[in-house]
Amino acid sequence: MGQLSELFAPETVAVVGATDREGAVGRAILENLLGDFTGEVIPINPKRETVLGQECYPDIGSAPPVDLAIVVVPPSIVIDVVENIADADVENVVVITAGFSETGGEGATRERDLREIAAEYELNLVGPNSLGIMNTALEMNATFGPENALNGSISFMSQSGAFITAVLDWANEQEIGFNEIVSLGNKTVLDETDFVDEWGTDEETDVIIGYLEGIDDGSAFLQTAREVTEETPIVLVKSGRTEAGAKAASSHTGAIAGSEAAYETGLEQAGVLRARSVGELFDYARALSGLPLPESDGVAVVTNAGGPGVLTTDAVGDSSLSLASFTDETIEKLQDVLPEEANVYNPIDVIGDADVERFETALEIALEDPNIGAAVVVAAPTAVLEYDGLAEAVIERTDAYETPVVTSFMGGGRVESADVVLREAGIPNYFDPARAVSGLDALARYRDIRERTVEEPMTFDVDKERAQAILEGAKKRDDNRLGVEAMDLFDAYGIPTPQGAVVDDPQAAYEIATEIEGDVVMKIVSPDIMHKSDIGGVAVGVPDDEVASTYEDLVSRGRNYQPDASILGVQVQEMLDLDESTETIVGMNRDPQFGPLLLFGLGGIFVEILEDTSLRVAPIGENEAQAMVDEIQAAPLLRGARGREPADVDAVVEVIQRISQLVTDFPAILELDINPLVAGPDGVTAIDLALTLDSDQL
Amino acid sequence: MGQLSELFAPETVAVVGATDREGAVGRAILENLLGDFTGEVIPINPKRETVLGQECYPDIGSAPPVDLAIVVVPPSIVIDVVENIADADVENVVVITAGFSETGGEGATRERDLREIAAEYELNLVGPNSLGIMNTALEMNATFGPENALNGSISFMSQSGAFITAVLDWANEQEIGFNEIVSLGNKTVLDETDFVDEWGTDEETDVIIGYLEGIDDGSAFLQTAREVTEETPIVLVKSGRTEAGAKAASSHTGAIAGSEAAYETGLEQAGVLRARSVGELFDYARALSGLPLPESDGVAVVTNAGGPGVLTTDAVGDSSLSLASFTDETIEKLQDVLPEEANVYNPIDVIGDADVERFETALEIALEDPNIGAAVVVAAPTAVLEYDGLAEAVIERTDAYETPVVTSFMGGGRVESADVVLREAGIPNYFDPARAVSGLDALARYRDIRERTVEEPMTFDVDKERAQAILEGAKKRDDNRLGVEAMDLFDAYGIPTPQGAVVDDPQAAYEIATEIEGDVVMKIVSPDIMHKSDIGGVAVGVPDDEVASTYEDLVSRGRNYQPDASILGVQVQEMLDLDESTETIVGMNRDPQFGPLLLFGLGGIFVEILEDTSLRVAPIGENEAQAMVDEIQAAPLLRGARGREPADVDAVVEVIQRISQLVTDFPAILELDINPLVAGPDGVTAIDLALTLDSDQL
């Protein structure tokens, strides 16, 4: 596969299937390309001599050399046409034609063929079922949509072509400009990860935005996006957030919907800012493409009206930012220049008779305060305030202080021309102060993403061969569910377990019990019996001399309960003193898109009823494992709230990392739960294990 | 006080302080009134013969009869002027003049005087420090703002005059119309409750909206708003939601900020829809003023583009509504009329080549489905779609089916004229489908408010005199903190307590203990010792023959710990078996605005760490007490989650109601906590009491 930059910067573009038939897609694309494109455009169609006055070639082999081919032929001949294109040494192909996997059956077969050809010839292939691509720097509109984009620094990908059409019509009116645009279509070859990768190194792209209904390879996306977001912000609408939405997305694209929890976690780990609506997408993009990042979280509000000032302060309170406290020096300076009735504390109220000069002076004093990372200028209409002048003043101060300033000029008609001036300078201006502040919030959140450290996962010294053997043992037993009989897996990965063993005769049980100090706990071991306590399959506080008879008793209860149950034996285990301990759960579920999704929470009601859990896509480093423990609401319980002795949180954090390593080492582990992992002041102990295996992957 | 409707419907308006001096407020108001007002306008100014060509009178006594006086004189003479106005039998007064309590000191005194005069003469007085009032039906603009409002059915009050000015400039451009508008100013006489009351019976008002920074008498507002919202929706921005915002609001208005939790709860109980931003305020107001209420929660989405359809479905999933399932009949009808590639399940995708007719047919079929309560039409621009026609079709269907339909015509320039058509028909249309859906959400939430039943508080048969005596006992002791020594308060109000008593000598302790079956619990009783267990002030499982010596022991520990502590005695109490029980907390805090704020939660970590509580302003009926129990996250624990025996929830609900009655009966109780109220399968028991008293109110 060549560089994607060539896809967007061709000198010559062929439209295969070009036609001058009114209403045809092959005509619309040709017209769009002939409109403004700075390069050559070549129509290809065996049935025409010329199309729209351009010389037409029967096939790509007979045409002059081409850098990019746009395919708009009927679905039945797409495969042949793409093969011809590849034979003519053209690497970049956009397949507009629909009728592939989205229609099922024959279309799906056709899409497999297309993927194979693309792989064979290493094609950069967009689509099929795509609206096309654009590059505003070359004024190249290789889509069949009705709108050209304005030039700007936002690069935009969308899994929905209609979404691009809708956005462009609106964005042109809002004067929001784009750099490159791609309609991803069925993503048979090139997908979101490829374009994120490409735009991450593109000088002309300040912000990457996208509308996605699914991410095919979540784990590749996470890796790429994590690197890209160190330099370039990514804002995505990933739709199908809600259950109803996920069902609709799945029926729309034919793809299997991944779990929303995995997307939420994976995108967060990738450093992606997730927008919940198209409005939020562009509010974020506008701020990120036009403004510097705030150096600190302190915001100054400068307003000529108390009420709107309070509204704006609330919006700051809702955001990740905070209202700054001014230094004494700032307050004195403000007192010197503002009328007595003005409020010199944040929010600064320059009061209703303020003109542009007073506003500007107050803003300048605020921006000089070392506690200020950003500012919001909120202006209600008055007889003396001239909005155009205020816009100019804000632009000058923003440039001079390299500090992000957003505005809420709260008016309609009388704000219009100032709004245009601000927009051209890249300053987001909204009637609603909350939207202005939400742009600042995006800046601060992106700054945090840039500054964060993603630690490499630790590699613990584990016994991988032994773990492999335990898993293969289960495979031999022809069972994909493992329980306490596989507790050695924890030993192999350095996770503490209670003293004890699973044995399959009463004498062995007795021998184990004598090795253990004090009474023991005994449990029947069977993958077929889920609720062991309910059938009397658990005995607590068994003295050594009753161990053998208890063994018989437990096994016969099991047989009575379920005669066909596979009974693997009985677990004999030391009794733990749980009074000073807290039950936790460490789990993993393998997500189809993102892979191993780790879960942490406190046991019992905390996970089951309060759903107080934290998630991460594995593998994770120590700081992320630590964050998993810290971010549950009940975390203070582990830290010794209400007079309890604090649990050994470091040991919990280590177990999470060791499980991260285990599930990364063994893709065959589909699900895994340590429930409970008992955390006490002197360390942790894994008491129970439930594991589901995909033995084909062993 | 007369009818407020007269305030808004004067035949003759006097402007006291009218002037033709350029830039003066007294000129601006006169100009606004002379502009379009259908009634008479009379300038009053002792220094002029005429003002702006109108005959001017030296004082109101010498002018013809007047229905409404607008006061714009300097602050120092406002009191005299208002007295003259009252003497002239004018009942309706708007004081524009600023310089009252908002400036502190002298201004505050002046405001007290103004309040007294208004009370003496029973004036309907708006302000002071007000922008003025408007009534669009009479084209009366009695404000000094630069904008006239358009006529419509929204009535609008604001604690910020600048907010009105800002909104009108913007609303005029958006063609949002208003009925009556009031700038509340300092709310010395007329406040939010008065206008809610007035507009609740006003035929011309479909929606009441407001911007408030505080509500002076929360409990009066709650009662009035609760009645009004049975017929007329109220949407409020109550700013100062966040800590920073509350501080800013308090410094802006000089009022003490109430607690946000009380506002949140009180407004919810009042049936008010609370908007978080000015954008949300008008998105809600627009839907509520233009559309019928949905009869059910099922939403149909009709779109010509899959991606936008999924986005819209997500927005429905975020709302209180849900995506409807169509009947088989609907699906068959859609299959009959739509192309094969269309999606006939909700969201309906009429696909990209749909014209207006196909859209309309699909919408009509959807609206006929009995599962549909509302619909969203989402249209991306295509070559064949004609937006104006689609707008007309949507309007016709909305009218025909009396079902709310909102639209997201996703475009810019090409949507403009359709947007105007929709707006005139009262149909909210937005580029962002999420905003369209949020309007439907407001409709559904308001429908639920209308349909809900506010039950009358039950009146339990209690011993109020005994309670009074107990509280007065504490007053005599000169202590405002009551503890277990006042447990009889619970007995008086029918709340079960453990067997036992507080005694002040060892022999009495022994006698109590012998009356109790089994061992007892003993606790030192002192308002000065907070953490009794920590100092060894609690003894558990005391047999009868050790009671006397334990008494001495506890008292001496108390004296050693804190020699000056007031020790009231020792509590001797039966031992409860807590194994099958759950600790709950029932509490009350008196809010300065809303009064007694009840709290319910589970004991220990649930309240302290997880903050899992529910709140209500007392008094409440049974269904609200029940809701308090149901809405905490941990409620399943009381209902018998994880194999426990369910607690007697009815008894918990009854205690909440009895506490509601107690704190309503005794305004002197400032704070009260039953912590814990132990709830078991066979009932509840109040174990401990903490109460703070305002003895001046006894």
DSSP letter for each residue of A520-558: EEEEEE-TT-S-TGGGT-EEEEE-GGGHHHHHHHHHHHH
What pLDDT is stored for residue A258 in this prediction? 59
* Contacts by A47-50, CB closer than 8 A, 24 or more apart: A48/A18, A48/A19, A48/A20
**Cβ separation B310–A170 shorter than 8 A:** no
Span A342-357, mean pLDDT?
A: 95
Which residues of chain B have a CB within 8 Å of the CB of A313? 239, 242, 244-245, 247-248
B382/A637 Cβ within 8 A: no
| pLDDT higher at A532 or B132 | B132
DSSP 8-state assignment for residue B138: G
Question: In terms of CA atoms, which chain A residue is nearest residue B414?
Answer: A169
- Show the tokens assigned to B234: 């109220």
- Tell me which chain B residues have a C-beta less than 8 angstroms from the C-beta of A159: 307
* Token couple for B262: 């009380």
Q: Is the peptide bond before B347 cis (omega within 30 degrees of 0)?
A: yes
Residues A585 and A676 sit within 8 Å (Cβ to Cβ) = yes
Range in A539-543, A625-629, B302-306, B328-332 with the lowest mean pLDDT: A539-543
Give A32's pLDDT tier (boundaries 50, 70, 90). Answer: very high
Q: Please return the burial class of A622, using the count of CB atoms within 10 Å of its CB with bins 0-12, 13-18 and 19+.
A: middle
**What does R_g of chain A's alpha carbons equal in angstroms?**
32
Nearest by CB to A162, from B23, B278, B380: name it: B380
pLDDT per residue as tens digits for the range A498-526: 999 999 999 999 999 999 999 999 999 98
Q: What is the tens place of the pLDDT at every residue in B485-528?
A: 889 999 999 999 999 999 999 999 999 999 999 999 999 998 88
Contact at 8 Å (CB) between A160 and B307? Answer: yes
Across the interface, whether the CB atoms of B172 and A345 are under 8 A apart is answered no
Instruction: Using the predicted structure, report yes or no on whether residue A626 has a pLDDT greater than 50.
Output: yes
Specify the DSSP element, H or E, that contains A135.
Answer: strand A132-135
Among residues B80, B68, B150, the alpha carbon closest in space to that of B114 is found at B80
Q: What angle do CA B423, B292, B380 make, to 5 degrees?
A: 45
How far B32 CA sits from the closest chain A CA (Å)? 14
The per-residue pLDDT for A579 is: 77
pLDDT of residue A1 exceeding 50, the answer is: no
Calculate the average pLDDT of chain B. Answer: 93
Residue A252: what pLDDT? 60
CA B86 to chain centre: 35
Q: Closest partner residue to B641 among A313, A410, A605, by Cβ? A: A605
Give B-chain residues touching A307 at CB under 8 angstroms: 158-163, 211, 213, 239, 252
Asked if B160 lies within 8 A of A413 by C-beta distance, the reply is no
- Contact criterion met (CB < 8 Å) for A381 and B411: no
**CA dihedral of A433, A434, A439, A444, whole degrees rounded to 10:** 110
Which residue is closest to A633 within chain B, CA to CA? B610
pLDDT above 70: residue A36: yes
A244 vs chain B: nearest CA distance in angstroms? 6
Residue A119 CA to residue A514 CA, distance in Å, equals: 64
Q: Do B248 and A310 touch (CB under 8 A)?
A: yes
Question: Of B189-203, B206-220, B240-254, B419-433, which gets the smallest average pLDDT?
Answer: B240-254
- Interface mutation target, options A314, A340, A417, A675, chain B, most CBs of B under 10 Å: A314
The 8-class DSSP code of residue B51 comes to: E
CA atoms within 13 A on the CB side of A181: 33
* pLDDT at residue number B528: 85
The residue in chain B having the minimum alpha-carbon distance to the alpha carbon of residue A322 is B244
User: For residue range B262-301, what is the model confidence (pLDDT) as tens digits?
Assistant: 999 999 999 999 999 999 999 999 999 989 999 999 999 9
| Confidence band for B577, pLDDT divided at 50, 70 and 90 | confident
Mutate to test the interface with B, among A311, A345, A355, A612 (most CBs of B within 10 A): A311
Write down the pLDDT at residue A455.
Answer: 93
pTM passes above 0.90: yes
Q: Do A211 and B307 touch (CB under 8 A)?
A: yes
A609 closest CB neighbour out of B311, B347, B636: B636
Interval A219-236: pLDDT, tens: 999 999 999 999 999 999
Instruction: Return the residue of A nearest to B158 by Cα.
Output: A307
pLDDT of residue B258: 59
CA pair distance B145, B32, nearest whole angstrom: 8
If phi > 0 it is left, if psi is from -120 to 50 it is alpha, else beta; for residue B343 that is beta
Looking at the predicted complex, does its ipTM rise above 0.85? yes
* C-beta contacts of B74-81 below 8 A and 24+ residues apart: B75/B99, B75/B100, B75/B107, B75/B110, B75/B128, B78/B110, B78/B114, B78/B128, B79/B110, B79/B113, B79/B114, B79/B117, B81/B16, B81/B17
From chain A, the residues in CB contact with B317 under 8 A are 241-245
Tens digit of each residue's pLDDT (9 = 90 or more) over A168-201: 999 999 999 999 999 999 999 999 999 999 999 9
The separation between CA A158 and the C-alpha centre of its own chain, rounded to angstroms, equals: 15
pLDDT at B2 over 60: no
Count other C-beta atoms under 10 Å from residue A254's C-beta.
16
Collapsed DSSP state (helix, strand, coil) of residue B177 = strand
**B158 to chain A nearest CA, in Å?**
9
- Contact residues, chain A, for B347 at CB < 8 Å: 248
Number of Cβ within 10 Å of residue A279's Cβ equals 18
CB B477, CB B547: distance < 8 Å: no
What pLDDT does residue B40 have?
A: 96
* Residue B254 in this model has a pLDDT that exceeds 70: no
Query: Are the beta carbons of B162 and A349 separated by less than 8 Å?
Result: no
Q: Please tell me the predicted confidence (pLDDT) of residue B605.
A: 82
Place of tokens 């897609």: A25
What integer is the mean pLDDT of B29-56?
95
Encoded amino acid at A362, one letter: A
Of A279, A636, A642, the CB nearest to B434: A279
Q: How far is A621 from chain B (nearest CA, A)?
A: 28
pLDDT of residue B123: 97
